[in-house]
Amino acid sequence: MTEQQSAAAVIAAGYASEGAAVELGSVLVDGVVEPTAHVRLPLATMNRHGLVAGATGTGKTKTLQLMAEQLSAAGVPVVMADVKGDLSGLSRAGSTSDRITGRATDTGDDWRPEECPVRFLSLGTGGAGVPVRATITGFGPILLSKVLGLNDTQESTLGLIFHWADTRGLPLLDTKDLRSVITHLTSDEGKDDLKGIGGVSSATAGVILRSLVNLEAQGGDTFFGEPELDPADLMRQVDGRGVITLLELAELQSRPALFSTFLMWLLAELFQELPEEGDLDKPKLVFFFDEAHLLFADASKAFLEQITRTVKLIRSKGVGVFFCTQLPTDIPNDVLSQLGARVQHALRAFTPDDQKALSRTVRTYPTSKDYDLEKALTSLGTGEAIVTVLSEKGAPTPVAWTRLRAPRSLMDTIGQDAIRQAAASSDLHGKYAETIDRESAYEKLSARVVPPSGESEEKDGERTAERHEPGVVEKVLGSSAVKSFLRSAASALGREITRGLFGTARKRR
């Protein structure tokens, strides 16, 4: 046994796994790869989250593809954001080539072509996949503030506006509902309501309204509405294999805040709906967060705090979250510290800032006697990565320069026409394809319904909205038309909405 083989065997021993694991690749020492020295990521630790990072063109997307197809084969559903359309090939079997054969030999892989069960979704109605939506009420004020680019003061104001609508039983289902509420509050007719909310200036409300109109002008209004996506539809199996849900986002590249924030909404929904699970042999769902830097860019303090909280706590629900970005420094330290698995592709160090980022990245890894990490991270070939994960015992594994396996599905896009055909034949198409526009805040406020004061309008056992907090104008919606609406609100939305993470509605409609 050569010195390199001996060192590779010692490193690989740290990745030994009794339970099921994702096979990442094989150890490389001094430029020599050892096919029998396997690097594994135990399924039992994938709810401890992870990071896949590296410069453009280093193989991050193929790493995500490799991990997703093995999770699917193990029966674990996967959610992935396909920002550039590169992951649609998961739905087709790959084809062999000299490069794949060589990679299989290097990594000890009995490579064979395989396809995965894939569902294609698109945010709003502009994409090729099945359109999915969230209601404004369900989305909540903190997440919507991120989409609208509001500052902290404006975010607080939006929260108060949501509270006013919640306590009045006014469902904010789409952008026109929120626009009509803000328009009412800034009008002469609604100025008393605006004052009653407390601490809200008409100027700030006007800024929010203009930001909302800009979002509508950019097509963002097609995303908000009903039917709202049910997170349970992301957690399905087909013939024992986990379904991979691809969120096709090519149409939204000009609105990165929208799709990154939507993914965070999905996590918040999963957190609120899934039961506590404790330790599992494999996760119930793994969530890949591509272009993760977009999530944290210009984020408010409240937004960052809730991301950190979600990542910390959602592991107990059996959900794993993997962030994918160019630099580990794109991820806030409080979040980075929660990520147990690191798959770091090559970094570029052309500028002083690059050098600082490289040094900071090296310090996040365990010490290694086999590699000069600063040199290694700038010398990695395409499809190679510096890896450390949590073992089944929860301890960090030795640092491993890893030659990654080749995905078994198609490493190319299948095209928009094929995606449209797959979406049209999906079992989700009938559920989400058609937009529903039911009676909500816009219709009621357009009818210029003014809530009368007092409680005399309660009849036939009906209850109006619950008593509001001191300082909020004590009014209820009256008239025969509005009573019908209140019955709908009482059954559909319940009383005043309780909000959880990110201010998202905890009562599903």
The residues near 71 (Cβ < 8 Å, ≥ 6 apart) are 22, 43, 46, 78, 242, 286
Structural domain contains residue 422: no
Question: What pLDDT does 364 receive?
Answer: 85
In total, how many domains does the chain have?
Answer: 2
Question: What pLDDT does 121 receive?
Answer: 95
Give yes or no for residue 208 having a pLDDT over 70: yes
Please tell me whether residues 123 and 244 are part of one structural domain.
Answer: yes
Give yes or no for residue 153 having a pLDDT over 80: yes
Q: Please give the Cα distance from 53 to 30 (Å, whole number).
A: 23
Q: Could you give the residue ranges of the DSSP H alpha helices within 315-372?
A: 333-336, 352-363
Express as a percent the part of the chain with pLDDT over 70: 88
Domain of residue 59 covers 3-105+114-133+226-414
pLDDT in tens, 312-349: 999 999 999 999 999 898 899 999 999 999 999 999 88
Q: Which residues of 50-72 are buried (b: 16+ CB within 10 A; e: fewer)?
A: bbbbbbeebbbbbbbbbbbbbbb
Q: Please give the Cα distance from 324 to 303 (Å, whole number).
A: 19
Q: Mean pLDDT across the chain, nearest whole number?
A: 86
The residues near 476 (Cβ < 8 Å, ≥ 6 apart) are 451, 452, 453, 454, 455, 457, 464, 465
Structural domain contains residue 294: yes
Q: Last residue of a domain, which of 395, 414, 433?
A: 414
pLDDT band at 49 (very low <50, low <70, confident <90, very high): very high
Structural domain contains residue 368: yes
pLDDT in tens, 251-299: 555 677 787 888 889 988 988 889 998 889 999 999 998 888 888 888 8
Please tell me whether residues 281 and 356 are part of one structural domain.
Answer: yes
Please tell me whether residues 168 and 249 are part of one structural domain.
Answer: no
CA quadruple 54, 59, 64, 67: dihedral, nearest 10:
-110
Give yes or no for residue 155 having a pLDDT over 70: yes
Q: Find, among 304, 297, 307, the residue nearest to 149 by Cα.
A: 297
Structural domain contains residue 482: yes
Please tell me whether residues 329 and 279 are part of one structural domain.
Answer: yes
Structural domain contains residue 174: yes
Please tell me whether residues 144 and 125 are part of one structural domain.
Answer: no
Question: What pLDDT does 507 receive?
Answer: 52
Structural domain contains residue 467: yes
CA dist 315 → 66, 341, 350, 375 (Å): 22, 13, 37, 34
Question: What pLDDT does 455 receive?
Answer: 40
pLDDT in tens, 356-407: 889 989 988 888 999 999 999 999 999 999 999 999 999 999 999 999 999 9
Question: What pLDDT does 241 receive?
Answer: 97
Please tell me whether residues 320 and 373 are part of one structural domain.
Answer: yes
Please tell me whether residues 364 and 388 are part of one structural domain.
Answer: yes
Q: Last residue of a domain, which of 368, 386, 414?
A: 414
pLDDT in tens, 431-468: 999 999 888 888 888 875 444 434 433 433 343 333 33
Least confident of 86-100, 254-268, 484-498: 484-498
Question: What pLDDT does 493 receive?
Answer: 42
Please tell me whether residues 345 and 493 are part of one structural domain.
Answer: no
Please tell me whether residues 192 and 231 are part of one structural domain.
Answer: no
Please tell me whether residues 242 and 348 are part of one structural domain.
Answer: yes
Q: Is 126 helix (H, G, I), strand (E, B) or coil?
A: coil
Please tell me whether residues 39 and 179 are part of one structural domain.
Answer: no
Backbone angles phi, psi at 226, to 5 degrees: -125, 155
Question: What pLDDT does 506 receive?
Answer: 65
Q: Last residue of a domain, which of 387, 414, 441?
A: 414
What does pTM read for this prediction?
A: 0.86
pLDDT band at 123 (very low <50, low <70, confident <90, very high): confident
pLDDT band at 238 (very low <50, low <70, confident <90, very high): very high
Kindly state the average pLDDT of the residues 113-132: 92
pLDDT band at 250 (very low <50, low <70, confident <90, very high): low
Give yes or no for residue 509 having a pLDDT over 60: no
Under 8 Å between Cβ of 117 and 238:
yes
Kindly state the average pLDDT of the residues 304-308: 88
Give yes or no for residue 120 having a pLDDT over 80: yes
Please tell me whether residues 217 and 237 are part of one structural domain.
Answer: no
Structural domain contains residue 161: yes
Q: Find, among 39, 81, 45, the residue nearest to 61 by Cα.
A: 81
Question: What pLDDT does 496 receive?
Answer: 59
Structural domain contains residue 211: yes
CATH (domain of 7): 3.40.50.300
Q: Which helix (H) or strand (E) holds 121?
A: strand 118-123
